[in-house]
Amino acid sequence: MPNAGEEPGSHEEAKETVRAEGLIGVQISIPSHGLRVHGSLKSISRGGVQVTTPLAVPIRCPLRISIAGCRPVVGEALYCLKRAMLYQVGMVFSSRQKPSITLGDMATIDTLEPPFVTGRGSILDIGSSSVSILCKTAIAPEERVRLESSGWVLFGVVQDMVATSMVSRCLEVHLQAAFPAESSHRAALAVMPSTAETGNPEVNEKEQ
């Protein structure tokens, strides 16, 4: 229950803020300037990332990009534009990662917009730009998602959802980027409250 004097809904908003930080939080380190900036992931591709930050980020200088739960990668900022109270920063990676995912391995999938939905399933197939997951979680096409499996974190967009039985679905995800995972991140994220695990308590109990 909310504490005395707490605004209605503020507790849920706080939980969503914590959840978002664990999924799309970004830290940018610029050693040459002794600067560290925190931001939020807005979009991502194999070659780079767009982040919103409260502070300006120097362009055309080496920096380290740490997306929540992923090992840091090296890159540089191509632009930094002021947008109202925030800055929109576009950065490119100095190298591209090729994930090594084992078919049949368990995977965790999270949506990247509130209400945050978390599901679990198994990898059916993976190619250079797509992955298929068998799970019980309903995630609509066009939803941005984050997958974690086999020690990798993958970002992508759901392209299709096909029901395979009364409770199972096959999610087809277009991959946008991949990073080696921090081994401790999923354990820490697991204790964070999720606004909607699957939207079906019976399904959640079966998955655990």
| pTM listed for this prediction | 0.81
Do residue 85 and residue 36 come from a single domain? yes
One-letter amino acid identity for 157?
V
145, 175 in Cβ contact below 8 A? no
Task: Supply the pLDDT for residue 88.
Answer: 97
Mean pLDDT score across all residues of the chain: 86
**Residue 40 pLDDT > 80:** yes
- Nearest-angstrom CA–CA distance, 88 and 51: 6
Domain boundary among 93, 114, 138: 93
Q: What is the CATH number of the domain that holds 44?
A: 2.40.10.220
**Residue 99 pLDDT > 70:** yes
Work out the pLDDT band at 97, boundaries 50, 70, 90. Answer: confident
Domain boundary among 93, 128, 144: 93
23, 44 in Cβ contact below 8 A? no
Per residue, the 3-state secondary structure of 10-67, as one string, reads: HHHHHHHHHHHHHHHEEEEEEHHHCEEEEEEEEEECCCEEEEEECCCCCCCCEEEEEE
Burial label, 180 (beta-carbon count in 10 A; 0-12, 13-18, 19+): middle
Q: Is residue 76 part of a domain?
A: yes
**Residue 68 pLDDT > 50:** yes
Task: Supply the pLDDT for residue 191.
Answer: 46
- Nearest-angstrom CA–CA distance, 138 and 23: 19
Do residue 16 and residue 42 come from a single domain? yes
Run of H or E residues at 204: helix 201-207
**Residue 192 pLDDT > 90:** no
Do residue 70 and residue 146 come from a single domain? no
Do residue 120 and residue 46 come from a single domain? no
Question: What sign for the dihedral angle of Cα 173, 123, 155, 206?
Answer: positive
Do residue 81 and residue 159 come from a single domain? no
Domain boundary among 93, 126, 151: 93
- What's the domain count of the chain? 2
One-letter amino acid identity for 185?
H
> Measuring CA to CA, which residue among 88, 93, 99 is closest to residue 66?
93
Q: Which residue has the higher pLDDT, 199 or 52?
A: 52
Rounded mean pLDDT of 88-97? 94
**What percent of the chain lies above the pLDDT cut of 70?**
83
Q: Is residue 99 part of a domain?
A: no
Task: Supply the pLDDT for residue 184.
Answer: 54
Do residue 71 and residue 141 come from a single domain? no
Work out the pLDDT band at 77, boundaries 50, 70, 90. Answer: very high
62, 31 in Cβ contact below 8 A? yes
Task: Supply the pLDDT for residue 89.
Answer: 98
Work out the pLDDT band at 207, boundaries 50, 70, 90. Answer: very low
